[in-house]
Amino acid sequence: MSSDNQHTKIDILNTSIPLFADSGYAGVSMRQIAQAVGIKAASLYHHFPDKQTLYIEALALAFSKHADFMNESFALQASPEQRLNHLILLLCIRVHEDNNFRRLMQRELLDGDKKRLQLLADQVFSNFFKDMNELCHSLNPDRDPHLMTISILSLVLYHFQITPIRSFLPGFQTSHNDPEIIAQHIFTMLKNGYK
């Protein structure tokens, strides 16, 4: 693929990410994406055979923007506990900063399309999840690493999913929106739980 074609493909993916985040998979047409990019719909099909392929690649790109940072935590020459602390901090910062990615994930989980979820699991998240399982196993081999991974990710994601209503709930403090404060809170809770 020429560099112009590659550039156009990346433009299409970057343009489609916020469209899918705002309206979901079913709420965005290929024609709307082409119009937003400023190309003809036929040109869009030159780069992607169908909407599902474009969507999966858009999610992969959205996730890959954070994957290197996450991999940094797994590769740290530190104790499993220190790697977990580092990972939770990075996850909180990334999820806080990338509203589009967070909303894409929320929408996809709510849609529950099995074929797309399988593609996401296989093509986008499998390596990250495998690394998380290994980290969880090293924290405590007697606990189920899959469930630990899900619990960690759930704690991080839910804190940011509930952000729109949090400020109206009793006990809210402005500092509760700080990803570093949230990360430290989650890590402290987890540290007391996995031992």
pLDDT tens digits, one per residue of 145-195? 999 999 999 999 999 989 889 999 999 999 999 999 999 999 999 987 766
pLDDT tens digits, one per residue of 13-31? 999 999 999 998 999 999 9
In this prediction the pTM is 0.83
Give the start-to-end residue ranges of the domains of the chain. Answer: 51-194
60-64 LR contacts (CB < 8 Å, sep 24+): 60/123, 60/124, 61/10, 61/13, 61/14, 61/17, 62/17, 62/98, 62/100, 62/101, 62/104, 63/101, 63/124, 63/125, 63/128
CATH assignment of 51-194, given 3.60.20.10, 3.40.50.720, 1.10.357.10, 3.20.20.70?
1.10.357.10
